[in-house]
Structure 1
Amino acid sequence: MDKKRLLIIDDDSRNIFALENTMRAKLFDCVSCLSAKEALKILNDDANIDAVLIDMMMPEMDGYEAIPLIKKIPSHESTFIIAVTAQAMSGDKEKCLKAGADDYISKPVDVDKLLLLLGKIGNGYD
């Protein structure tokens, strides 16, 4: 069974470190970056990313701006995108989904919930 490839986009390297270590322990192959602009370069060069975890609140380009751009990349039109945000207020999930995210999870990330969401990969998302 091939490992699923996960791109983690977050402007806080501590969040990336924690998520990468956790997801590698769960047998995911992880790629990460600190900005949405860098993520777009990675995704343009790598068609083999199965899912994206994107922090919605980043400087320069936030997740709301980046997700539609990710979906415009021909090899990533149907890549599974999970919005990750510290914003857990009413309406935030809908705002993330409207931006094009396939699902949403709030910080601090509940690993069991994240694994459940990532279980959707392969059910029409890859």
Structure 2
Amino acid sequence: MAHPAERRCGPEPGAPRFTGQKILIVDDDRRGAFALGSALSARGLTVLQAATGADGLAAVEHDPAIRAVLMDVAMPGLDGYATAARMRRLDQGAATPIIAVTFEATAADRARALDAGMDAHMPKPVDVPRLLRLLADLMN
């Protein structure tokens, strides 16, 4: 039998809504990105996904409607730190909030994410209500 909290299907009462706002998840783990994207789209967000840092950079460069980026830091090739630093140099990415979403959850990992130009650090597994509050703060 499922835990009572696991039976809830709808969004949390009083949680922020984001109807029509677009975010980008940059993560090489497609299953994890899909699960997180599904939870966020239930709150009204339009969720785009990129599996590589290069694809994330291209998405931000070509889509000015992206309001925030959720960035995995441990990706092969161009990791999330380097991707965020490059994103900050793009006209479209200079002011876009970037949140590190990662299993790397030490104080040093948080500091490294902030030093790379990210606005916040969110450990995995993601506390979705906390992420929604953070997105509401950063996107307004």
TM-score for both structures, normalised by structure 2: 0.83
Specify whether residues 45 and 52 from structure 1 end up closer, same or farther in structure 2 by C-alpha distance, changes over 3 A only. Answer: same
Paired residue type of 1:17: F
2:113 alignment partner, SS class: helix
Question: Match for residue 108 of structure 2?
Answer: 91
Structure 1 moving runs of 4+ over 4 Å: none
Aligned-residue CA RMSD in angstroms? 1.3
The unaligned stretches of length 5 or more in structure 1 are none
Aligned residue number for residue 51 of structure 2:
34
> Which one has the largest radius of gyration?
2
> 1:75 corresponds to which residue?
92
Match of 1:5 in 2: 22
Asked whether the equivalents of residues 19 and 45 of structure 2 are also in contact (C-alpha less than 8 Å), the reply is no
- Confirm whether residue 110 of structure 1 aligns to residue 127 of structure 2: yes
* Alignment match, 1:14: 31
Amino acid at match of 2:118: A
Query: Does the Cα contact within 8 Å between 2:68 and 2:139 map onto a contact in 1?
Result: no
Count, aligned residues: 123
CA shift, 1:2, in A, is: 5.0
Provide the rounded CA distance (Å) in 2 between the counterparts of 1:103 and 1:95. Answer: 11
Shift of the alpha carbon at 1:71?
0.9
State the shift of 1:90 in Å: 2.9
Query: What does the per-residue CA deviation read over 1:53-100, in whole Å, with 9 as the maximum and x for residues that have no partner?
Result: 000000001011010111111022100100011011231111110110
1:119 aligns with 2:123: no
Describe the superposition over 1:95-116 as per-residue Cα deviations: whole angstroms up to 9, x where unpaired.
1101100011000001011011
2:41 to 2, 9, 24: 24
1:49 is the counterpart of 2:49 = no
